[in-house]
């Protein structure tokens, strides 16, 4: 129960942080980056904490390997997320005034 309360409290703190970011940052592009990085950090912290809980318990070799795969997957998907977040996006600011033919 103690470990679950820690995870729930982390989620509560992150929820409050998201609400604070929505109120403080007015630039949508900057808000996207800040929320993306905060979300990534929250996923990494949760993954590391959950993996730590598994590693301190008595596991078989197969379970150790699976937890290791989980850590590698979490870290690699986080890196891919950051790469995708930094890609340029095309924005259409107005509709073309040309009529269709």
Domain assignment of residue 95, yes or no: no
pLDDT of residue 83 exceeding 80: yes
pLDDT of residue 9 exceeding 70: yes
pTM, two decimals, is 0.71
Each residue's pLDDT tens digit, 15-74: 898 889 888 888 888 888 888 888 898 889 889 988 888 888 888 899 989 999 999 999
Domain assignment of residue 8, yes or no: yes
Domain assignment of residue 92, yes or no: no
Segments forming the whole domain that contains residue 7 = 2-86
Domain assignment of residue 53, yes or no: yes
Domain assignment of residue 76, yes or no: yes
Domain assignment of residue 91, yes or no: no
Average pLDDT of the residues in 79-88: 85
Asked if 64 contacts 55 with a C-beta cutoff of 8 angstroms, the reply is yes
Domain assignment of residue 9, yes or no: yes
Task: Count up the domains in the chain and report the number.
Answer: 1
Domain assignment of residue 74, yes or no: yes
> So what's the pLDDT on residue 27?
85
> So what's the pLDDT on residue 4?
84
Residues 6+ apart with CB under 8 A from 88: none
17 CB burial (10 A radius; 0-12, 13-18, 19+): middle
């Amino acid at each position: 129960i103690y470990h679950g309360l820690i995870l729930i409290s982390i989620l509560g703190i992150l929820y409050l942080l998201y609400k604070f970011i929505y109120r403080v940052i007015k630039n949508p592009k900057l808000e996207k980056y800040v929320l993306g990085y905060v979300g990534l950090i929250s996923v990494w912290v949760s993954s590391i904490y959950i993996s730590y809980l598994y590693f301190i318990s008595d596991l078989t070799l197969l379970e150790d390997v699976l937890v290791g795969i989980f850590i590698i997957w979490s870290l690699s998907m986080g890196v891919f997320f950051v790469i995708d977040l930094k890609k340029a996006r095309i924005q259409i600011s107005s509709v073309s005034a040309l009529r269709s033919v």
